[in-house]
Structure 1
Amino acid sequence: MTLYADLKVTRDSFELDLELTVEPGEVVALLGPNGAGKTTALRAIAGLLPVTAGQIRLDDEVWDEPPRVFRSADRRPIGVVFQDYLLFNHLSAVENVAFGLRARGMEKRVARAEAAHWLDTVGLTDQARSRPRALSGGQAQRVALVRALATQPSLLLLDEPLAALDASTKLHVRAELGHHLSRYDGRTLLVTHDPLDAMVLADRLVIVENGRVVQEGGPTEIARRPRTDYVAQLVGLNLYRGVAEGTTVVLDGGGSLTIATPSSGPVYVAFPPAAVSLYPERPTGTPRNTWPMVVSGIEQHAHTVRVRLTPDPSATQDRAAPAVLLADITTAAVADLHLAPGQRLHATLKATETQTYPT
């Protein structure tokens, strides 16, 4: 059974208008910046917020279709893991997991036995009698997950499930969550603003900006061929749109690029910041793309330094440079170049480092 959601929600000045599907056994990540509409979409699918128009259904079973149908959350076969887990602090771990089973009419003793089995599947048998305050962040996340799964929902909704964890815990818990999701044969919708969570856990990404879907596809496709500045920033690429004629692309935002493979018409051009080299003087050699630039920003990025560059306004005789260019260089290179904001230098990019694809 396929989950189909045609979501149209109007709230004050914000409008959500997106369409998505989730197949059995599939993990779909709804990814976007804060305020994009991700949580609104999740709340609508969960039955916590009625849609203004459109339809939500599981195959032929309609959950929401105004004005004639609205199923409340308790009448939808869903499990939800919220960002803060929302465990009941006065109940033990096993009682938390049993809660949903008891709410569906299961006898107390049977529900506790079933809950104990679920805790065992995530390695928490020893914590069955512990209250939420005694659990680590990773343990609390696992309790929340099996509480959602214990009722055998047709749809699992994960709302920023790793956001409450510190960086040292998140890596392990993310891998563990991926393992559990791989064994779940229902449909999973993951809402997140963390691109790594989405790339690691999801089979398919749906990118949302300003209440609209701007790109959709597998993690590899999204990472290789971003179609908006937001997505390009997520995956760490320079992205430009322009018009190609042969091996030259005139960029919409100003400037031009030489590409390796001849093309024609509107295209995107993408390349990693690590492909950009910086020199104090104009270099000699083969790079077809060489631009005089000015350093406008410097920031540490993991084990490299990201340099933000803008065209040198005094170099009018040179070929027009992109309006903004990002370069990743080593800390040693920063020292060698004596980099500082406002410094003039030259940036180069080999045409073979670019990737071009139709808009």
Structure 2
Amino acid sequence: MTLEAAIRVARGDFRLELDLTIAPGEVVALLGPNGAGKTTALRALAGLVGGGRVQVEGSTWDALPVDKRPVGVVFQDYLLFAHMTALDNVAFGLRARGTPKTAANAVALEWLDKVGLAEFARAKPRTLSGGQAQRVALARALATDPLLLLLDEPLAALDASTRLKVRSDLGRHLRDYPGHTLLVTHDPLDAMVLADRIVILEGGRVVQEGTPAEVVRRPRTDYVAHLVGLNLYRGWADGTEVSLVDGGRLTVAEPVAGEVHVVFSPTAVGLYPEQPAGSPRNTWPVTVVGVEQHAHTTRVQLAGTPAVFADVTTATVADLRLEPGDRLWAVLKATEIHTYAV
């Protein structure tokens, strides 16, 4: 049965209004900037704050205390009990619900084996690596056979070299989990790799949701566009001409009408010291605001009408000697621009 939640939480001037559904076996990622309400939503589902109405399999959880809700939680810092062994940590939830010690330990050892840590059953948390601690926390959350698994920034505490392996392991365990999973994260890569569906939260409201592919291809806010590395504008289209809300006009390849989003990759933007002549392309004057080195390209922030981000090669940076304040011409082919209805 699908889990259905209606979360309404008010704190001062902030109000969270989130309607959420999660199907059995589905992983939903709740993604958004700091202060969007992600952690508040997670705490409401767990019963740690009021304002969360949850229904699943015909039953309502609203009146259930925290320890009676069929929920498993993996916190950002894992919150393992330092004085307990890995085995005792995983068995803790079962013991708290009245399972005899022998039976609880048997289930805990089975889960440690599933996450590849059976040999660390007697280890204390301080002797475990970050990746190992994360797997113990996951085993503890799943050992009670919860209907809902809540993951609060589960990879945030890991270094980059560990994160790739642990993300892969986590994805494998989530694929085997038959319950409902909510992943709270600010990292778009975690969401894209682990989730079946992404819900974007800004200012306590859902601004976009869809599969990872849908979100990447059609961002609907500046925050989402920045996450996926695209230039995004709103405008009014008439044929192949789009007048942008914040100023400027762009020519697109396919005729369209009405209010639209306009999106294109920073790699599609060319930079020239003089205005190019010849083929009919979008060209407009820009001023360099900032230059930031990425892995294999350089991201150039440009003021203009419209303002734009361009990704260029190191060779281009050297040829143009790019510095803040430089005046250039931006060039963009109409065929590189995509539009879709607002």
Deviation track 1:115-136 (CA, whole Å, cap 9, x = no partner) reads 1111111111111110000000
- Look up the match of 2:309: 326
- Look up the match of 1:350: 333
Separation in 1 of the partners of 2:36 and 2:278?
A: 45
- Look up the match of 1:12: 12
Separation in 2 of the partners of 1:287 and 1:279?
A: 15
1:238 to 231, 248, 258: 231
- Look up the match of 1:84: 77
Separation in 1 of the partners of 2:251 and 2:206?
A: 31
Q: Does 1:265 align with 2:248?
A: no
- Look up the match of 2:321: 338
Give the TM-score normalised by structure 1. 0.94
Q: Does 1:62 align with 2:60?
A: yes
Identity of aligned residues (%): 67
1:223 to 194, 216, 229: 216
User: Aligned runs of 1:170-249 on 2, under 5 Å?
Assistant: 170-249=163-242
User: Aligned runs of 1:290-309 on 2, under 5 Å?
Assistant: 290-309=283-302
1:286 to 276, 279, 284: 279
Q: Does 1:154 align with 2:135?
A: no
- Look up the match of 2:108: 115
Root-mean-square deviation over aligned CA pairs: 0.9
The amino acid across from 1:44 in the alignment is A
Return the offset for 1:217.
Answer: 0.3
SS of 1:259's equivalent? strand
Deviation track 1:24-57 (CA, whole Å, cap 9, x = no partner) reads 0000000000000000100000000010xx7321
**Any stretches of 5+ residues in structure 2 without a counterpart?**
none
Separation in 2 of the partners of 1:95 and 1:197?
A: 29
Return the offset for 1:287.
Answer: 4.8
- Look up the match of 1:100: 93
Return the offset for 1:60.
Answer: 2.1
SS of 1:268's equivalent? strand
Separation in 2 of the partners of 1:124 and 1:148?
A: 15
Q: Does 1:145 align with 2:138?
A: yes
SS of 1:148's equivalent? helix
Return the offset for 1:330.
Answer: 1.1
Return the offset for 1:176.
Answer: 0.8
Return the offset for 1:223.
Answer: 0.2
**Any stretches of 5+ residues in structure 1 without a counterpart?**
65-69, 312-320
Give the TM-score normalised by structure 2. 0.98
SS of 1:262's equivalent? strand
The amino acid across from 1:61 in the alignment is S
SS of 2:214's equivalent? helix
1:254 to 247, 251, 258: 247
- Look up the match of 1:317: none
Return the offset for 1:264.
Answer: 0.3
The amino acid across from 2:150 in the alignment is L
Deviation track 1:281-317 (CA, whole Å, cap 9, x = no partner) reads 1113325201111111111122211101112xxxxxx
The amino acid across from 1:358 in the alignment is A
- Look up the match of 1:46: 46
The amino acid across from 1:343 in the alignment is D
Separation in 2 of the partners of 1:23 and 1:285?
A: 54
